[in-house]
C-alpha cells in the first residue's frame, strides 16, 4: 500500500504516505506537517512531480472521429499510383469496421509541401499550423488496438478499451494536483455539435475519487455548471449565507477535525471559483490582434478559436489539463470521413487549422509553450482503401499524431508507416507510449502514478509504455 | 486486565484437506444427481487445458481456508462483562484491548436514531419518530426502533441499493449506443423486494446466477437471472465484432461472480494466471464455461392480443429497417456512401414502437453453445486450450476433475457450490459487506478482494463468527443486522476520546462509531424528504428528471433523455432514478456515486469545491431549500426560534446548541420584506451543514 500515491483521506494516511515517500528526511518534518495540512484541507493542492517536469500543463487537441494520416502529416505518393487497385498482398492484412476484400486503395487529392527549417511535409489542409512545424514533433507511427470509435476513444483517453478507467486528465490531477484554486484543474471542452460515441466515461475519473473528475465546459461565456448565483441571490446575500454556514459548522466542530476543516475549506474554494473564474472566461478584454490570430469572428473558426483562447487563459492560471474537442454529434460532424474524405477533412481542417496555429503562436509569444505540452490527434487514422468511392474507413494500425511545447523537440519526425500508410513499420509507438511520454514530460513516472483498485495497482499505461525518446 | 486468551485448534494441513474433501463431495454429488442433456456438437480439436497445480501457500491463503469456530471472548471485569452485551461486543472489545483501546460511551438517543434511520432506510428520522423514541422508557425502546426500521419498505430501497452497487446495475447498455434496457428495472425491484422480505442470501444468489434453470416458470426467478446480463454491452455500427461482443459479455458474467459473490479478483486471471492469488487462467475460463450455453432472453409478458397489435404496428417499420440494413450492406459492398442511409436507419429505428413489456432474463441454449477456450492475453481471436466447467481449483482438492459437458443446469451447479455452507468465501464476503455498510468500513476493508492484495481482516475471528452465524441462521441478512445493531459497539458515540485519535485514527478498531458522510442518494433523498416533498411511490421503470439542455447535449443521442411527464416523479427516491451509463447526473457524480462500469464495493467520500457549488447554487438544493423554508413557516409559525428548532430537528435530528440558535436568530432577524428570502437562505444553509451531511 505504502509505495503508491493515492488520495489522502485523513491525517494518518497522509503521514504514512508522506513518510514512505520522503523517507528519513527528518529535517523536512516541519515542512511535511504544513504540507500535510495543505493536502488534507485541499486534496487538489499541488504535489511534487516524480521527475524533473518539463511541462506544467497539457492540452489535448482531440480530433474526434479519426483524421486521416494520409491527408494530413504522412504523405504517401505510392498510394496515388495504386489508386483503384487492390492492396498488394505484401502490405499485409488489416481489420476494418466496414471494409472488406473488395475494397480498393484510394489516392489522395491533397498536396504536401515542406515547411520551416525542418522541412517537414504537411498537407495543404493545414497552411497555418504548418507555419509552426519547427515547434512540432510529428509521430507518424502511432497505433492502437481498437478500430471502433467508443473503444478507441476509451483507449486514447484512459489507456483501456473499456469504460470505467480514469482518463489521463484525472491521472494528472491525481499525480500533480492543480496550480489553480479558483478554476477546475481538469477541463473538457466538447464540441458544441454534440457528444462522442464513448460518452462521458471517456473523460471520467473512473475509480479515482470524485475530486479528480473533469469539469465539462458548456458553450458560451458561463461554461461551468453551478457557478452562477441562483436567481434573486446577490453576492452580498451569498457572503452572508456562507458566513452562516461557517459559523454554524464551527459551533458544532471539534477543533482540529481535519475532515470537517477540509469541507469548510472547500466552501472557500467554491467561493473563490465563483468570484474569480468568470473573469477568466471573459474573452472581451483580449486584443483584436489576438482574436484575429485564433480566427475568432470568422464563422468557420470562431467556435474552436474561442475554445482555444479560453484554453490559453486557463493554462495561464495554472489549470493542469484541458481537452478542447474538435468534432461531435453524428459522424459527419466529426473527422469520421466514411463517405467523402475530401469534403469532410476540408471542412474540419478549416475549422481548426487557424485556431491551432494561433494557439501555438500565442503560447510561444507569451513564453507558455515551454511549459505547456500540446498534443494533437484522433482516436485512430483512416484506411488507405476507400469506403464507397471517396470515403475512408477507420484505421488503427498506423496513424499520425503530433506534440509541441513542454520540452518536446520541435521540427522532428519520428516513425513511419509503410508506403501506403497501412502499418506502422518504423519505430511504431502504441498509444501507451504516447501516454508514457505525456506523463514523462509532466514529470510523472508511469509506475509510480498508480492507484490500488480491487487488488490491482492500476496505471494509465496498464502495460508499460516507453518514452518516445527521439522527441524529448 | 487483559481478556482471557482464546485457544483455537491449530490449523493443520490434514485438517484442511479433510475439510476440502468434504467440499469436493458436495461437488461430485451434484454431478451424479444432475440431469444431463444429450451430448451436443461440442467436438473440438483443441486439447484440454491442464487442471492446474496449486502450491500449499496458495491453498492456505486465509480466506480460502474453511471458516473456524472461534470462541467468543469472555471478560473477567464486571464493567467489561456488562458492556459485552452480545458476541459482537466481545470480539470487538477483545480486539480493542490488543491495541490498548477502550470503547466509547453510548451515543445519545437523538444521535442513535438519526444514525440507525439513515443506516437502514437511507432517510432521516421524522420529528414524530424522534419524539416517540425519546419518550419510550421501556428497556426495549432500541429494539423496537430497529424492528420498525427493518420492517419499513424504505429499508429495501436503501439496502437494495448497496447490492445494486455491487452488481453494477444500470438501465442502459453503455458504450456508444448506450441503449435503454426498458425492463431492467424489474431486477432493481426484485432486489428491493428480496431485501425487504429478507430472502435468504443463499437463495438470493442462486436465483440470480441460475433463476431460469431453477424455476423456469416463475417470473421472480427469471427476473433475478437478469443478473447475468447487467454488465455493459458493446454494440457497433456495421457490427463485425459479434464474437468480440459475446466474449465481453462472458467476461462480464464471469468477473461479477468473482468480485460480487466470491469477493476475489478472479477477473485478473482473464488474460494470464493471477499474479498474486492461486487462480490460473484456466480457472477463469473454467468458471466462464458455466455460462457457455447462456443466451439473453427477453420474455414478452403482454397478452397475445396486445402482441398482435404491436406486431401489426411494428412490422412495416421492421420491414423498413430491414430494407435499409440491406441497402447499407449493399452500398458498403458497392463502395457507395452510407451516411444518409445510416441516418435514415437511425430515424426508422427511433420510430419503432416501444418494446412490449418483457422479462429481462436469460436462458440456456445448449444447441448453440460455443466451447470455451483459454484466451491468451484475453484475445478471443486466438483461442488456446479447451476447458470445461469447474470452480477455481485452489478451492478444490488436487486434480479435481471438470464437470461433464452435458450438465443440463450448469449454472445451478455453480450456484449450489457458491452457496454451499462450506464455501469458504461467500458467507464471509456477504457478512463483511453488511458490516461495511453499517460501519463505513469492512472487517476486511476491501470487500471485493479477499485475496492477497486485499486487506487482512481486522479481526478474522469476528469475521468467521459472523459468517458461521449467518449460515446457521439461514443466511438471513436481517438477523445479522439485528445482531450488529443491538450491540453496544454499534451504539457507541462517534466522538473520539483523548487517546482514540492517536491509536485508532480511522476507527478501524471501533473504539468509537465511525462518523460517515451521507452518500449521494442519501443527501438527495434527505433534502427532498426534509423539504416535505418525497414521493414515496415504489418500483417501476427508472425515472428521468429534467436536466439543463446543455447537459442533454453531452449525450451522444440527446433525444434519449425524456424527463417524466408527471413532475411528482422528479421527487422519487434516488434508487428509482434512471441510471444511464454514459450520463451521470452532476449532483450524484459530485458526491461520489459510482459510474457502474464495474462492481463498486464501497463508496468513496471525497471533499471538493463542486460539491459546495452543487449545494449552494444547484437547482435541487435551491428548490428544496425553498420548499423547506415554506414548511418551516407553515409548521412552526412566524416565531423564528420555533422555525430554527424545527429546522434542526428535521435536518440534523437534534436541537440547536445555544451558539447555533443565536447565530440563526441573528440571520433571520431582518426587515419583514426580506424575511422570506432570509428563511430560504437559512434553509439552504441547513443543507450545507456538516450536521446534515454527516451521520455521527
Instruction: Based on the fold, state whether residues A234 and A206 are members of the same structural domain.
Output: no
Q: What is the pLDDT of residues B313-367, one digit of tens each?
A: 888 888 888 888 888 777 776 767 777 887 888 788 778 888 888 999 999 999 9
A456 contacts on B by Cβ (under 8 Å): 265, 268, 453
Determine, yes or no, domain membership for B213: no
Mean pLDDT of A233-251: 95
- For the domain that residue A190 is a member of, what is the CATH number? 3.40.720
Confidence category of residue B685, pLDDT binned at 50, 70, 90? very high
Does some domain include residue B581?
A: yes
Q: Which residues of B touch A389 (CB under 8 A)?
A: 335-337
| B325 falls within a domain | yes
pLDDT tens profile A151-204: 899 999 999 988 889 999 999 999 999 998 889 999 999 998 888 888 888 999
Please choose, from the candidates A452, A460, A456, A453, the residue with its C-alpha nearest in 3D space to the C-alpha of residue A5: A452
Residues 120 to 179 of B: which have CB under 8 A from any A CB?
174-176, 178
The tens digit of pLDDT for each residue in B462-513 reads 999 999 999 999 999 999 999 999 999 999 999 887 777 788 888 999 999 9
Residue of A nearest to B248 (CA): A162
A331 contact residues in B (CB cutoff 8 A)? 339
Total number of domains constituting chain B: 2
Note the pLDDT tens digit of each residue in B155-194.
999 999 999 999 999 999 988 788 899 999 999 999 999 9
E-strand spans in B448-578?
Answer: 516-517
When pLDDT is cut at 50, 70 and 90, the band that residue A463 belongs to is: confident
Q: What is the mean pLDDT of chain B?
A: 90
- Please check whether residues A248 and A328 belong to one and the same domain: no
Q: A95-99, A134-138, A157-161, A350-354: which has the minimum mean pLDDT?
A: A95-99
Does residue B30 register a pLDDT over 80? no
pLDDT of residue B4: 37
pLDDT, tens digit, 9 for 90 and up, residues A43-102: 788 999 999 999 999 999 999 999 999 999 999 999 999 999 999 999 998 888 778 778
Pick among B342, B446, B498, B606 to test the A interface (most A CBs inside 10 A): B606
B633 at interface of A, judged by CB pairs closer than 8 A: no
Give the whole-angstrom CA distance, residue A169 versus residue A311.
14
A308 and A230 in a single domain? The answer is no
State how far the Cα of B130 lies from the Cα of B149, in Å rounded to an integer: 13
Dist. CA A366–CA B633, nearest whole Å = 57
- As for the ipTM of the complex, it is 0.89
* Residue A16 contacts B, CB cutoff 8 Å: no
pLDDT above 70: residue A244: yes
Q: Mark yes or no for CB contact B613/A338 under 8 Å.
A: no
Total domains in the fold of chain A: 3
- Residues A5, A115, single domain; the answer is no
User: What is the chain A residue with the closest CA to B547?
Assistant: A225
Mutate: best of A262, A454, A456, A457, partner B, most B CBs <10 A? A454
B690 touches chain A (CB under 8 A): yes
Co-location of A89 and A213 in the same domain = yes
Confidence of residue A413 (pLDDT cuts 50, 70, 90): very high
Torsion of CA B106, B108, B113, B119, to 10 degrees: -40
Kindly report the number of other CB atoms within 10 A of residue A286's CB atom.
16
Pick the residue with more confidence: B552 or B570? B570
Taking CB atoms and an 8 Å cut-off, how many pairs form between chains A and B? 244
Residue B13: pLDDT band (50, 70, 90) is very low
Last residue of a domain, one of B324, B353, B382: B353
- Give the C-alpha separation, B461 to B443, whole Å: 10
> For residues A404 and A120, what is the distance between their CA atoms, to the nearest angstrom?
14
Q: What burial class does residue B140 get, using C-beta atoms within 10 Å of its C-beta: 0-12 exposed, 13-18 middle, 19+ buried? A: exposed
A251·B595 Cβ contact <8 A? no
The nearest alpha carbon in chain A to B453 belongs to A455
Q: Does any CB of chain A come closer than 8 Å to the CB of residue B689?
A: yes
Interface contact flag, B622 A190, Cβ < 8 Å = no
What is the enclosing helix (H) or strand (E) of A139? strand A136-143
Flag whether residue A248 sits within 8 Å of chain B, measured between CB atoms.
yes
Average pLDDT estimate for B643-661: 98
In chain A, pLDDT over 70 holds for what percent of residues?
A: 91
Instruction: Print the domain residue range for B555.
Output: 519-695
Distance CA B267, CA B271 (A): 9
Model pLDDT, residue B45: 75
CA dihedral in degrees (A93, A98, A102, A104; nearest 10)? -80
A157 and A183 fall within a common domain: yes
Contacts of B595 in chain A (CB under 8 A): 163-164, 201, 204, 206
**Closest Cβ–Cβ partner in B176, B337, B453 for A391:** B337
Question: CB distance from A41 to chain B under 8 Å?
Answer: no
Q: What is the pLDDT at residue A181?
A: 84
Mutate to test the interface with A, among B330, B341, B690 (most CBs of A within 10 A): B690
Query: Does A145 lie in the same domain as A91?
Result: yes
Same domain, A242 and A309: no
pLDDT, average across residues B541-554: 87
Residues A442 and A309 in one domain: yes
| Low-confidence winner among A195-199, B282-286, B527-531 (lowest mean pLDDT) | A195-199
Instruction: Based on the fold, state whether residues A151 and A273 are members of the same structural domain.
Output: no
Residues 6+ away with beta carbon under 8 Å from A334: A64, A65, A191, A196, A327, A328, A348
Instruction: Indicate whether A1 pLDDT > 50.
Output: no
- Chain B partners within 8 Å of A149 (Cβ): 176
Domain boundaries, position A22: 1-41
Q: Considering only CA atoms, which of B186, B170, B258 is closest in space to residue B222? A: B186
Report the predicted TM-score, pTM, of the whole model to 2 decimal places. 0.85
A84 C-beta neighbours (distance < 10 Å), count: 10
Please name the member of B590, B604, B663 whose beta carbon is closest to the beta carbon of A251: B663
- The residues with which B296 forms a beta bridge, in sequence order, are B362
Question: Closest Cα partner for B189 from B225, B224, B236?
Answer: B224
- Contact yes or no for B241 and A148 at CB 8 A: yes
Give the pLDDT band of residue B514 (cuts 50, 70, 90). Answer: very high
Tell me whether B598 touches chain A (CB under 8 Å). yes
Residue B431 lies inside a defined structural domain of this protein: no
* pLDDT of amino acid B239: 52
- Inter-chain residue contact A104 with B335, CB threshold 8 Å: yes
CB spacing of A251 vs B660 below 8 angstroms: yes
Q: Are A172 and A55 in contact (CB under 8 A)?
A: no
Residues of B in contact with A180 (CB under 8 A): none
Lowest pLDDT segment from B321-335, B446-460, B589-603: B321-335
- pLDDT above 70: percentage of residues in chain B: 92
| pLDDT tops 70 at residue B8 | no
Name the residue with higher pLDDT: B44 or A62: A62
Question: What per-residue confidence (pLDDT) applies to A30?
Answer: 36
Rounded CA gap, B10 and A109, in Å? 80
Candidates A9, A164, A269; nearest CB to B595: A164
Q: Do A210 and B176 touch (CB under 8 A)?
A: no
pLDDT of residue B16: 39
What pLDDT was estimated at residue A304?
97
Angle at B554 between CA B552 and CA B559, to 5 degrees: 45
Q: How confident is the model at residue B44 (pLDDT cuts 50, 70, 90)?
A: low
SS (H, E, C) B45-78: CCCECCCCCCCHHHHCCHHHCCCCCCCCCCCCCH
Is B553's Cβ below 8 Å from some Cβ in A? yes
**CB interface of B with A, residues 264-303, below 8 Å:** 265, 268, 276
Q: Residue A374: which pLDDT band, with cuts at 50, 70 and 90?
A: very high
Average pLDDT over residues B90-101: 95
Whether A31 and A64 share a structural domain: no
Contacts with B689 from chain A: Cβ below 8 Å: 245, 248-249, 252
Asked whether residue A215 carries a pLDDT value surpassing 70, the answer given is: yes
Residues of chain B with C-beta less than 8 angstroms from the C-beta of A148:
176, 236-237, 241
Residue B570 lies in a domain: yes
Same-domain status, A145 and A106: yes
- Give chain A's mean pLDDT: 88
B-contacting residues in A 95-134 (Cβ below 8 Å): 95, 97-98, 100, 102-104
Instruction: Determine the Cα–Cα distance for residues B386 and B384; give it in Å rounded to an integer.
Output: 7
| Count of beta carbons in the 10 Å neighbourhood of residue B76 | 10
B454 part of contact set with chain A, CB < 8 Å: yes
Higher confidence at residue B347 or residue A423? A423
Amino acid at each position: 500500500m505504502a509505495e503508491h500515491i493515492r488520495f489522502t483521506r485523513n491525517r494518518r494516511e497522509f503521514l504514512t504516505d508522506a513518510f514512505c515517500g520522503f523517507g528519513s528526511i527528518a529535517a523536512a518534518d516541519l515542512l511535511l506537517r504544513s504540507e500535510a495540512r495543505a493536502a488534507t484541507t485541499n486534496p487538489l493542492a499541488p504535489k511534487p512531480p516524480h521527475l524533473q517536469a518539463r511541462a506544467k500543463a497539457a492540452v489535448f487537441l482531440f480530433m474526434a472521429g479519426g483524421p486521416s494520416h494520409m491527408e494530413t502529416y504522412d504523405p504517401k505518393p505510392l498510394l496515388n499510383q495504386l489508386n483503384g487497385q487492390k492492396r498488394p498482398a505484401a502490405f499485409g492484412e488489416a481489420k476494418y469496421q466496414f471494409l472488406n476484400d473488395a475494397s480498393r486503395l484510394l489516392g489522395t487529392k491533397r498536396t504536401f509541401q515542406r515547411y520551416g527549417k525542418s522541412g517537414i511535409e504537411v498537407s495543404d489542409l493545414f497552411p497555418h499550423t504548418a507555419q509552426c512545424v519547427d515547434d512540432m514533433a510529428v509521430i507518424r507511427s502511432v497505433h492502437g488496438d481498437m478500430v471502433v470509435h467508443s473503444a478507441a476513444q476509451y483507449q486514447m483517453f484512459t489507456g483501456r478499451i473499456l469504460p470505467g478507467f480514469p482518463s489521463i486528465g484525472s491521472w494528472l490531477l491525481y499525480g500533480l494536483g492543480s496550480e489553480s484554486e479558483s478554476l477546475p484543474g481538469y477541463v473538457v471542452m466538447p464540441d458544441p455539435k454534440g457528444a462522442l460515441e464513448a460518452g462521458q466515461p471517456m473523460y471520467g475519473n473512473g475509480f479515482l475519487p470524485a475530486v479528480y473528475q473533469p469539469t465539462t465546459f458548456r458553450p458560451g461565456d458561463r461554461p461551468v455548471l453551478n457557478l452562477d448565483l441562483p436567481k434573486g441571490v446577490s453576492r452580498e446575500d451569498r457572503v452572508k449565507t456562507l458566513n452562516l454556514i461557517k459559523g454554524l459548522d464551527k459551533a458544532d466542530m471539534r477543533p482540529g477535525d481535519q475532515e470537517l476543516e477540509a469541507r469548510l475549506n472547500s466552501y472557500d474554494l467554491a467561493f473563490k471559483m465563483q468570484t474569480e473564474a468568470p473573469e477568466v472566461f471573459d474573452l472581451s478584454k483580449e486584443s483584436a490582434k489576438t482574436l484575429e490570430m485564433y480566427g475568432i469572428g470568422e464563422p468557420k473558426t470562431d467556435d474552436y478559436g474561442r475554445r482555444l483562447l479560453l484554453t490559453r487563459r486557463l493554462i495561464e492560471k495554472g489549470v493542469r489539463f484541458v481537452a478542447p474537442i474538435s468534432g461531435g454529434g453524428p459522424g459527419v460532424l466529426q473527422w469520421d470521413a466514411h463517405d467523402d474524405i475530401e469534403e469532410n477533412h476540408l471542412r474540419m481542417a478549416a475549422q481548426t487549422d487557424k485556431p491551432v496555429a494561433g494557439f501555438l503562436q500565442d503560447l510561444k509569444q507569451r513564453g507558455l509553450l515551454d511549459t505547456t505540452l500540446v498534443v494533437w490527434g484522433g482516436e485512430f487514422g483512416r484506411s488507405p482503401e476507400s469506403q464507397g468511392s471517396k470515403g475512408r474507413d477507420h484505421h488503427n494500425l498506423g496513424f499520425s499524431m503530433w506534440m509541441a511545447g513542454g520540452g518536446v523537440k520541435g521540427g522532428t519526425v519520428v516513425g513511419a508507416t509503410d508506403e501506403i500508410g497501412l502499418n506502422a513499420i518504423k519505430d511504431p509507438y502504441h498509444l501507451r507510449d504516447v501516454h508514457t511520454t505525456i506523463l514523462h514530460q509532466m514529470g510523472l513516472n508511469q509506475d509510480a502514478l498508480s492507484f490500488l483498485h480491487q487488488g490491482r495497482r492500476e496505471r494509465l499505461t496498464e502495460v508499460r509504455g516507453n518514452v518516445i525518446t527521439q522527441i524529448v | 486486565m487483559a481478556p482471557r486468551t482464546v485457544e483455537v485448534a491449530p490449523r493443520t494441513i490434514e485438517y484442511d484437506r479433510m475439510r476440502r474433501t468434504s467440499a469436493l463431495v458436495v461437488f461430485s454429488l451434484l454431478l451424479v444427481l444432475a440431469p444431463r442433456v444429450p451430448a451436443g456438437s461440442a467436438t473440438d480439436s483443441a486439447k484440454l487445458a491442464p487442471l492446474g497445480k496449486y502450491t500449499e501457500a496458495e491453498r492456505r491463503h486465509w480466506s480460502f481456508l474453511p471458516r473456524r469456530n472461534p470462541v467468543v471472548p469472555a471478560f473477567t471485569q464486571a464493567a467489561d462483562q456488562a458492556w459485552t452485551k452480545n458476541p459482537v461486543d466481545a470480539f470487538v472489545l477483545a480486539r480493542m484491548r490488543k491495541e490498548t483501546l477502550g470503547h466509547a460511551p453510548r451515543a445519545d438517543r437523538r444521535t442513535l436514531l438519526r444514525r440507525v434511520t439513515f443506516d437502514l432506510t437511507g432517510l432521516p428520522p421524522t420529528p414524530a419518530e424522534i419524539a416517540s423514541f425519546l419518550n419510550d422508557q421501556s428497556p426495549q425502546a432500541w429494539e423496537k426502533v430497529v424492528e420498525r426500521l427493518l420492517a419499513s419498505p424504505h429499508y429495501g430501497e436503501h439496502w437494495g441499493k448497496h447490492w445494486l452497487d455491487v452488481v453494477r446495475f444500470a438501465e442502459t447498455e453503455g458504450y456508444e449506443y448506450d441503449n435503454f434496457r426498458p425492463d431492467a428495472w424489474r431486477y432493481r425491484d426484485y432486489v428491493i423486494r428480496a431485501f425487504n422480505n429478507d430472502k435468504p442470501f443463499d437463495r438470493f444468489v442462486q436465483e440470480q446466477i441460475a433463476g431460469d434453470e431453477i424455476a423456469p416458470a416463475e417470473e421472480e426467478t427469471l427476473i433475478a437471472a437478469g443478473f447475468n446480463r447487467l454488465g455493459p454491452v458493446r454494440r457497433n455500427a456495421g457490427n463485425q465484432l459479434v464474437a468480440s461482443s459475446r466474449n465481453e459479455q462472458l467476461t462480464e458474467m464471469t468477473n461479477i461472480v468473482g468480485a460480487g459473490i466470491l469477493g476475489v479478483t478472479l477477473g485478473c486471471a482473464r488474460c494470464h494466471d493471477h499474479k498474486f492469488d492461486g487462480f490460473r487462467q484456466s480457472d477463469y475460463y473454467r468458471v466462464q464455461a458455466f455460462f457457455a450455453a447462456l443466451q439473453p432472453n427477453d420474455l414478452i409478458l403482454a397478452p397475445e392480443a396486445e402482441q398482435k397489435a404491436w406486431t401489426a404496428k411494428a412490422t412495416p417499420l421492421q420491414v423498413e429497417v430491414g430494407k435499409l440494413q440491406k441497402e447499407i450492406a449493399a452500398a458498403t459492398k458497392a463502395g457507395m456512401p452510407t451516411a444518409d442511409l445510416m441516418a435514415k436507419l437511425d430515424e426508422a429505428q427511433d420510430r419503432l414502437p416501444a418494446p412490449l413489456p418483457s422479462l429481462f432474463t436469460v436462458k440456456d441454449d445448449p444447441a448453440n453453445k460455443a466451447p470455451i477456450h483459454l484466451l491468451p492475453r484475453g484475445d478471443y481471436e486466438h483461442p488456446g486450450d479447451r476447458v470445461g466447467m469447474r470452480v477455481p481449483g485452489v478451492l478444490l482438492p488436487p486434480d479435481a476433475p471438470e464437470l461433464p459437458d452435458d450438465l443440463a443446469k450448469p449454472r445451478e451447479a455453480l450456484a449450489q457450490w457458491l452457496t454451499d455452507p462450506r464455501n469458504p468465501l461467500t458467507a464471509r464476503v456477504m457478512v463483511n459487506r453488511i458490516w461495511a455498510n453499517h460501519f463505513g468500513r469492512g472487517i476486511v476493508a476491501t470487500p471485493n478482494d479477499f485475496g492477497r492484495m486485499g486487506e487482512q481482516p481486522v479481526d478474522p475471528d469476528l469475521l468467521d463468527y459472523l459468517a458461521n452465524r449467518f449460515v446457521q441462521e439461514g443466511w438471513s441478512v436481517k438477523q445479522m443486522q439485528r445482531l450488529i445493531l443491538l450491540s453496544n459497539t454499534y451504539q457507541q458515540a462517534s466522538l473520539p476520546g483523548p487517546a482514540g485519535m492517536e491509536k485508532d485514527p480511522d476507527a478501524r478498531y471501533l473504539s468509537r462509531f465511525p462518523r460517515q458522510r451521507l452518500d449521494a442518494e442519501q443527501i438527495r433523498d434527505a433534502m427532498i424528504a426534509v423539504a416535505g416533498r418525497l414521493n414515496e411511490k415504489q418500483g417501476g421503470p427508472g425515472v428521468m428528471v429534467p436536466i439543463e439542455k446543455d447537459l442533454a447535449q453531452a449525450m451522444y443521442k440527446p433525444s434519449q433523455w425524456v424527463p417524466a411527464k408527471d413532475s411528482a416523479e422528479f421527487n422519487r427516491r434516488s434508487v428509482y432514478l434512471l441510471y444511464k451509463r454514459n450520463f451521470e447526473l452532476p449532483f450524484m457524480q459530485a458526491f461520489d456515486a459510482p459510474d457502474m462500469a464495474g462492481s463498486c464495493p464501497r463508496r468513496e467520500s471525497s471533499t471538493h469545491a463542486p460539491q459546495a457549488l452543487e449545494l449552494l447554487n444547484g437547482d435541487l438544493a435551491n428548490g428544496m431549500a425553498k420548499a423547506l423554508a415554506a414548511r418551516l413557516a407553515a409548521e412552526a409559525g412566524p416565531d423564528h426560534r420555533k422555525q430554527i428548532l424545527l429546522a434542526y430537528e428535521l435536518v440534523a435530528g437534534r436541537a440547536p446548541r445555544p451558539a447555533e440558535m443565536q447565530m440563526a436568530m441573528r440571520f433571520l432577524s431582518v426587515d419583514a420584506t426580506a424575511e422570506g428570502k432570509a428563511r430560504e437562505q437559512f434553509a439552504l444553509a441547513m443543507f450545507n451543514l456538516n450536521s446534515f451531511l454527516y451521520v455521527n
